[in-house]
Copies of this chain bind each other. A is one copy, B any other.
Amino acid sequence: MYNFSFYNPVKILFGKGQIAQISAEIPPDRKILLTYGGGSIKRNGVYDQVVQALAGRNFLEFGGIEPNPRLETLMQAVELVRRENIDFLLAVGGGSVLDGTKFIAVAVPFQGDPWDILAKHSPVHEAVPMGTVLTLPATGSEMNTNAVVTKWSTKEKLYFSSPLVFPKFSVLDPETTYSLPPRQIGNGIVDAFTHVAEQYLTFSNNAPLQDRMAEAILSTLIEEGPKTVANPTDYSARANVMWCTTMALNGLIGVGVPQDWATHMIGHELTALHDLDHAQTLAIVLPSLLAHQRSQKAEKLLQYADRVWGITSGTAEERMDQAIERTRQFFESVGVATRLSAYGLSGASIPTIVDRLEQRGMFPLGERKDVTAPVVEKILTACV
């Protein structure tokens, strides 16, 4: 196990009815900005619950944060926060609203062009405090320091990370997810599954507890994911998937172990160029990446085959093939296609994707730093 430091001060309020608690979590003197997305929270009753919970509090609203939140939109919120002297942000929505709100939080006090926080890794020293009400279990943003933002004018999708944007609290009420379209539920399952895979399917460094905790999340997603797709109002299944998605990327399973993240870096370019859902890009890239990196990942792939899928017979190559195939089938079974062609893409943009990763100085990627430009080209070619 490598040395590590772990710190995660997010308070989780989990379960039905917990939105009612939020006012007690926000200091009484704060002026609040409620941020949200396209308005689904107004149709499913979440907005009403939040407004009721904030009765008597001083708050404004900023809606319209889009999936893959855009810098151009978020900067309007930054102006609003500065103008109105807002000093608490309450993000109500999925990962995009949460990530966008994290950006607002650091952009408000930033001197200079806030895009530099992502494009130039400019350090941030301050952030407006924030809380969240999560309505789409997927990204783990509710309990981590990460945010991904897209600059629409240049089609660049970049991320930043800062402990200053840990939410003070996050409400996870499985009932708020009942009205989600199946596509978003499937996406969330694939997203969380891939978050775990990026921290687990690497190489062994004698960290068996982290391995088993990763396997715990994968096995639970495999068990509960199809239930929640089949029956959106199965509270237990929704609750279990929701908790899995949070645990998949709150830092815990990744302590002291090597991490990959090549699938995410390649996927971000697919989203930026073709506006695919984030999880769709992961479902496309992960199986091909695992297949290409099989010799470097063999020990973990075989452990994964055995412990997660119960695959114990056949040669090592056969067991790895089966595990990768089962992964692909699982993604398809929750409604997320795993081929570029399924999204009407021919692979014509592959050279552009490789170039863009090159220009950002991303290579080499992967836990062994062996995912180079030619490797990405091969992986993506196998994705068609």
Contacts and interface: CB of A to CB of B under 8 A. Distances in A.
Interface stretch (A12-20, A101-109, A330-338): A12-20
Nearest to A163: B11
A227 to B, nearest CB: 11
B209 A247 contact: yes
Contact of A217 (B5, B17, B209): B209
A215 B4 CA distance: 23
B4 A15 contact: yes
A11 B256 CA distance: 14
A243 interface: yes
Interface in A279-316: none
A18 B6 contact: no
A131 B249 CA distance: 26
Contact of A1 (B18, B223, B236): B236
A352 interface: no
A218 to B, nearest CB: 10
A11 B7 contact: yes
Contacts of A207: 240
- Counting chain B CB atoms within 10 Å of each CB, the highest count among A2, A208, A236, A240 belongs to A208
Interface in A221-261: 223-224, 236, 239-240, 243-244, 247, 252, 255-256
Nearest to A6: B12
A347 B161 CA distance: 58
A9 B244 CA distance: 20
Please classify how large the interface on chain A is, using the bins under 10, 10 to 19, 20 to 34, 35 or more.
Answer: 35 or more
**Which secondary structure dominates chain A's binding surface?**
mixed
A8 interface: yes
A243 B223 CA distance: 27
Given A213-B213, A240-B207, A11 B5 contact: yes
Given A216-B216, A240-B206, A14 B7 contact: no
Contact of A2 (B15, B208, B209, B244): B15
Contacts of A244: 209
- Counting chain B CB atoms within 10 Å of each CB, the highest count among A1, A9, A217 belongs to A1
B240 A1 contact: yes
Contacts of A223: 208
A105 B177 CA distance: 42
Contacts of A7: 9-12
A10 B8 CA distance: 8
B9 A14 contact: no
A243 to B, nearest CB: 6
30 contacts: A1-B15, A1-B243, A3-B14, A4-B12, A4-B15, A5-B12, A6-B11, A6-B14, A7-B10, A7-B11, A7-B12, A8-B8, A8-B9, A9-B9, A206-B236, A206-B240, A207-B240, A208-B240, A209-B216, A209-B217, A209-B220, A209-B243, A209-B244, A209-B247, A212-B216, A212-B217, A212-B219, A215-B216, A216-B216, A239-B256
Interface of A: 1-18, 206-209, 212-213, 215-217, 219-220, 223-224, 236, 239-240, 243-244, 247, 252, 255-256
